[in-house]
Structure 1
């Protein structure tokens, strides 16, 4: 048991500090009462009681503000410092407990009960001391905050209580834990507590060591990277590359942040940028990644133009750029009207079909101008590789996105007018079918997340207004055709061509050739002759070339100062362009036997077709010449079979096929010709040749024939009517079922042509042949 005794001594409250018995340390004392207590102690036996405050922030502690267990200490030395505080050297003697506290005016004194540790020790205490020393030694090895000399000093101590207090003074414990050990009067309990405390500290130190090693490894790696980067910067600086890859990565990161990409695409771009940063600049992969990131940055993701939803303005622009073409203009204005009402509409997919030179491409450009959208054109003529549309995968050398993504980059907005020119000229081979790849592009239900092989991220094409152009619908695959809205542009009448030449083509060519109206004037009669006798086309491309020729020749005359102003009339036209290339009106000059005029529809618009039949003595052969396709050959066979079955009624010798060879010829044999609409023309020419009755020269005809003589409907009536009008025909015989198509024919053409609707070959012969 500990020895007890009572005494009264001055009290010195300590802030954030605790003194164990046998412990010697310096204290700085500054509070007035504390200074008085020290001076009192020096007068008496140099004894003072040190008790720790519960709250270090209190300047004038009361009895409840200090721990009642403290240390009776001896003041060994006092020294006044220049700043007014006193530095004292104290030595802890024994534990003590405050019995009562007497707060005097100058300082506080306490009556304390002092406890001394017993001098003897038993075997258990000896064992505990050894265990504590072992643990403390392990702690010192881990901590390295206690010197080997300190350990040697402690290990020489024989008293267990003193050893425990000295070890406790070297441990980094919280004040509460230190006070707990101070309050443990029983030596065995004190030893056990310290063993437990040191064991915990060991665990903490082990964890700290692991964390420290991990942090060190991380720091070493970071420092190594930093060092290498600094070296790289220095090398790049020496080589003249001031910013190097670091500046490049920073710039690319800023651009990615500003690009407005969807989150998924942005995540991919940043991941690729991270790879780019880690790969050496000399690596081939580095250039591939950089190229990919730059494509992602350069694509428009959110940028769009605002549609000009002013119908009147849009209509004025369309009329200003193009004469006629009412259906297309009407469709664009309908789109704008719906857009104005809904404020959101998927871009329509239009397909302008017509012969060359009718203004399909320039019309698409005008549509973009009327909508206030950017315009981009992609030519699909001759494309035979699917990768041209979808792009190449990045694993290939020289991989690039497809034409659609390239076009979107060129447009710079997500809602341009995108022209797919010559969509009927695509073909396929072993590298895939590009028309199949176009299905996703032109499907309004799918193109909101179009997938390009190079970009590999979904791209929204739903706001794009796609306009395709084609000369011939028959070469476009059905599924692709089904996704587009077909608008047919048949060609222009003479009056329309005259207006286009005066208002558009002439002004354009004069400007390009440096001429003005004061230098050159083309009279209407000259333009009309130019249209009729120097061009024969559905569009106006040849017409523009001829006008360009006139402008060039005029420029030469003006520059050589032969003439300052040229007025070109019909008579002077030959001086500029030479003899007429075509005969105006290709109708026959007189009614002829065995010659009928048919109407044909080609990729270059409508045309007329003369079909000649000659009957010669022979053995009944049917000879077909003129490079006819299978369908036209079958039409000839069908007409021949019908005439044989009706020979008696048509007043033809029933045995004509056994006594004669019949030769059917279509002139211009080098030009391939095919289609079903020549059936009634062949039949009429055959009947004319066999009966000797002439065919009316001003009559043209079109229609398919059956073995029973029925006349079936045909396509392209508008184009055929325009060609008949150009050729100077006056009457056209057409199938009765085509009556609905007459509304599409321009009024100026309809007024000058007499349409006869027929449903049987007998009606055709009645109107086509001369006589009864």
Structure 2
């Protein structure tokens, strides 16, 4: 009462208030120990302020919680009222399935999607689950997303196959130069499709079961970059009048990227194949799987194994995606895979595809491509159509021969674009510009020549030969250098050579030592020398047995002192008996030799059957010599045949000597 009547002393007020506060005994003791009344009141006021702040926060939280609870109760009550009203209006059937606008829309989608019966049953089952589900259930959003996907898939939508073969052939010829094998395969596909269509019609007339069995077409285009693998896929789709879908597989390491994620995961989606089919909107598009040779493998699975089902003609009628969980028919899809090399594609996957090899272009083909396709394209892109800028044949040949060295045409297009940009700048600045670009104008616009003939030596050299190889970027030529020095018969190999190429070098050295007499060498010639074999461009990994004849030729040249003809290239594997064995990639190697300026190429006799694949321009400019033994190679590659040793001892095989003893 004293506190209320304001008749209490200040010290009494502080003690009474402190006794009511919820503070620790130690803090109360601290207040009692303070004898100064003013300070004691300050301490009590500080504790009292904290208490008031805590009460205010607690009151705020309580009021917000109460408001939220009231809102939830209000919504629940309104929802129940709404449900009661819908029951009174008859908007809920006997099974309790809702028939409002959203569910009517889903029912219409399912009905119009043209699904197979088992897929339709699955979709209706999921729709029923959704109708019986509480609106607050988060799984409702997942089921809606699933129904959207399954209803948007092209279960029965197909592009009509009514393209005339003449029209398709004209489209392919107008958009791509060369690539005859790919064009021929597409026209064969069209012919088969046309005959099946006619057979189906006649079968229906006769009353026979006209079911058309579809055999999937799965092609694989392998070749260096820039030769038109991806672009011809678009032309094929245009020629067939089909939709085109492209999916890049480079760097994919997760199997779920192909098959999709299961719906139990948050943010699950179908795989790239199903996504591509949805975007195509038809069940028979041209589907390109780009960079299939660059698929990775890690702990998340092997994507290439997941592709086995999609690319297997016997299995892809019922392709199963983890997200959809229902089979989807891929048998009418025309799959086209592209890659740079076959080696990195697993054998089971490679076995399911029809491989079509895209070799590099010859200089004549590049000239035609630049003249018919690349230059008109760049004139349009750089805004020079109305200026009438042209380029002469000599100008194109100058760009092709002196500013590019590649299997494809990408650098060629970049150089032509650079010329157009420089001309466009002259036009924009109001300066004089060439109306017709000649070879001299090309040098002024692009600068000094970047490439000369790849035949590096200006004269025939001793201990140096020209080999041919194949890389993921097309054919290349490589030089084999051999140097001799005093030593103890050691063989040194450098140039970052692989194990197979090292073994080829050892086999060449052994053949040379065992045939010393035919080569005019002393029997003990190897005892006082060391041999060093080097393949330039040491930063580039090299391997394979096809450099055997080139290594043997360079070695024999160094030992006999007879120069090797610099414009003679050679390829082939060498055995210890001196036989020249068959090699692969003859077309790519021949094109590389032609590009480098070789006039003669020595190849194994067993590769004579591959001459049909060699371009006509290459066969016209290069003489092909077919060798069966190393002696055949040496007779063509060396300037002269080594004179036989004047020493009386003749060569006889070691096995014969052992038998005689």
TM-score by length of 1: 0.68
Q: 1:385 aligns with which of 237, 249, 254?
A: 254
The answer as to 2:144 corresponding to 1:283 is no
Q: Is the 8 A contact 1:509 1:547 kept in 2?
A: yes
Aligned to 1:109: none
Q: Contact (CA 8 Å) 2:163, 2:241: kept in 1 or not?
A: no
User: 1:709: Cα distance to partner?
Assistant: 0.9
Question: Which residue of the partner structure matches residue 338 of structure 1?
Answer: 192
Detail structure 1 runs of 4+ shifted over 6 Å in the superposition.
Answer: none
Aligned to 1:399: 268
Q: Does 1:370 align with 2:239?
A: yes
Kept in 2, the 8 Å contact 1:587–1:729? The answer is no
Residue number in structure 1 paired with 2:335: 466
Bigger Cα displacement from structure 2, 708-717 vs 275-284: 275-284
- Contact 2:455-2:567 at 8 Å conserved across structures: no
- Between the aligned partners of 2:598 and 2:277, the Cα distance in structure 1 is 49
- 1:488 is aligned to 2:342: no
Offset at residue 663 of structure 1 (A): 0.7
Report the equivalent of 2:439: 570
Measure, in 1, the Cα distance between the counterparts of 2:386 and 2:228: 25
1:621 and 2:490 matched: yes
Whole-angstrom distance in 1 between the partners of 2:426 and 2:441: 14
Distance 1:691 1:564, change over 3 A: closer
604, 608, 626: which one pairs with 1:757?
A: 626
Contact in 1 for aligned 2:423/2:433 (Cα 8 Å): no
Map Cα deviations across residues 528-548 of structure 1 (whole Å, 9 max, x no partner). 010111110111111111111
Residues of 2 paired with 1:654 and 1:430: CA distance? Answer: 58
Report the CA distance between 1:587 and its aligned residue: 5.4
Question: Partner residue of 1:185?
Answer: none
Contact 1:693 1:771 in 2 (8 A): yes
Within a 5 Å distance, the mapping from 1:592-631 to structure 2 comes to 592-631=461-500
Aligned to 1:548: 417
Task: Write out aligned runs for 1:39-438 (5 A).
Answer: 227-229=81-83, 246-343=100-197, 344=212, 345-438=214-307
Give the drift of 1:227.
Answer: 4.8
* 1:532 correspondence with 2:401: yes
Deviation readout 1:636-667 (Å, 9 max, x if unpaired): 11111111111222112332332111111111
Aligned partner of residue 586 in structure 1, secondary structure: coil
Could you give the per-residue CA deviations for residues 251-298 of structure 1, whole angstroms, max 9, x where no partner exists?
222111111111111111111112122223443211111111111011
- Does the Cα contact within 8 Å between 2:223 and 2:359 map onto a contact in 1? yes
* Cα separation, 1, equivalents of 2:453 and 2:137: 70
TM-superposition CA deviations, 1:599-656 (whole Å, max 9, x none): 0111100010001000011122211111111111111111111111112221123323
Q: CA deviation at 1:564?
A: 5.9
| Distance in 2, Cα, partners of 1:565 & 1:762 | 56
Other-structure match for 1:504: 373
Partner in structure 1 of residue 320 of structure 2: 451
Go from structure 1 to structure 2 and tell me whether the alpha carbon gap of 1:708 and 1:245 turns closer, same or farther (over 3 Å shift).
farther
Distance 2:360 2:84 in 1: 71
SS of residue matched to 1:572: helix
* Alignment counterpart, residue 651 of structure 1, candidates 520, 524, 547: 520
CA distance in 2, matches of 1:733, 1:434: 42
Partner of 2:584: 715
Q: Contact 1:352–1:489 at 8 Å: present in 2 too?
A: yes
Q: CA deviation at 1:396?
A: 1.3
Secondary structure at the counterpart of residue 280 of structure 1: coil
How far apart are residue 739 of structure 1 and its match?
Answer: 0.3
Q: Is the 8 A contact 1:298 1:409 kept in 2?
A: yes
Q: Does the 8 Å CA contact 1:625/1:664 hold for their aligned counterparts? A: yes
Which residue number in structure 2 is paired with residue 663 of structure 1? 532
For these two proteins, the number of residue pairs brought into alignment is: 540
Cα deviation, residue 517, structure 1: 6.3
Helix, strand or coil at the partner of 1:687: helix
Matches of 1:358 and 1:565, distance apart in 2 = 30
Distance 2:135 2:416 in 1: 57
Gap runs ≥5 in structure 2: 1-77, 88-97, 198-211, 642-661
Contact 1:587 1:727 in 2 (8 A): no
1:549 and 1:635 map into 2 onto residues whose CA distance is 44
1:561 aligned residue (430, 445, 449): 430
Alpha carbons 1:588, 1:698 under 8 Å: kept: no
CA-CA distance at 1:420 after TM superposition: 0.7
CA drift at 1:245? 9.7
Change (3 A) 1:517 1:225: closer
For 1:359 and 1:409, the matched residues in 2 are separated by: 26
CA distance in structure 1 between the aligned counterparts of 2:133 and 2:447, rounded to whole angstroms: 70
Is the 2:605–2:627 contact (alpha carbons within 8 Å) kept by the matching residues of 1? yes
Give the aligned partner of residue 673 of structure 1: 542
Question: Does structure 1 conserve the Cα–Cα contact (< 8 Å) formed by 2:316 and 2:331?
Answer: yes
Q: 2:11: which partner in 1?
A: none
Rounded to whole Å, the distance in 2 between the matches of 1:759 and 1:588 is 28
Corresponding residue number in structure 2 for 1:591: 460
Change (3 A) 1:266 1:650: same
Residue 73 of structure 2 is matched in structure 1 by none
Between the aligned partners of 2:406 and 2:137, the Cα distance in structure 1 is 58
Shift of 1:226: 8.2
- Is 1:769 the equivalent of 2:642? no
Deviation string, structure 1 residues 309-360 (Cα, Å, up to 9, x no partner): 3110000000000011111111110111111111244231111111100000
The alpha carbon displacement at 1:589 in A equals 1.6
